[in-house]
Amino acid sequence: MNIALIAHDRKKDDMVRFVTAYKFILEDHTLHATGTTGLKIMEATGLSIHRFQSGPLGGDQEIGALIANNKMDMVIFFRDPLTAQPHEPDVTALIRLCDVYAVPLATNMGTGEVLIRGLERGDFSWRNIVRGKTSTNIVSEP
């Protein structure tokens, strides 16, 4: 699965702790992140992460393009709802794209944990069908 990891400035430490806690699950997937968030995660965990620009410089839009092209399977975006963001229209567009393309989205740690545990169980195998791929985890009817 392709998973995007994004965190606003005041939530970056939370994201690092989250990824560190679930490294054993995330290391089996392809990880993407906005610039600074990705760097902090890589430094703390040693995980390989494809890094985009930082959010305000277009990273949210780069991830949004992957969503619109059906190449992103999950987004974990720890938002800071108490701080105005200079790129709020980009954030809103990213969340909208997740809704339009039925991409699972967590905007806080609680929902992130639910998605990660579902990922661990294989609950997101349906994304392979959406992308037109088959998987041994998908059971077909006779």
* pLDDT digits 0-9 by tens, 30-74: 999 999 999 999 999 999 999 999 888 888 999 999 999 999 999
Q: How many CB atoms lie within 10 A of CB 136?
A: 7
Cα gap 102→9, rounded to integer Å: 26
33 within domain boundaries? yes
141 within domain boundaries? no
Higher pLDDT, 132 or 136: 132
32 near 52, Cβ under 8 Å?
Answer: yes
pLDDT-based confidence at 134, cuts 50/70/90? very low
Short-list 24, 44, 41, CA closest to 52:
41
pLDDT at 138: 36
126 within domain boundaries? yes
142 within domain boundaries? no
State the catalytic residue, choosing from 9, 14, 28, 60.
60
CATH of the domain at 33: 3.40.50.1380
What domain range is 126 assigned to? 2-130
Query: Mean pLDDT across the chain, nearest whole number?
Result: 90
Element (H, E) at 49: strand 49-51
pLDDT at 117: 97
Q: Based on the structure, what is the number of domains in the chain?
A: 1
The answer to whether 123 is a known catalytic residue is no
137 within domain boundaries? no
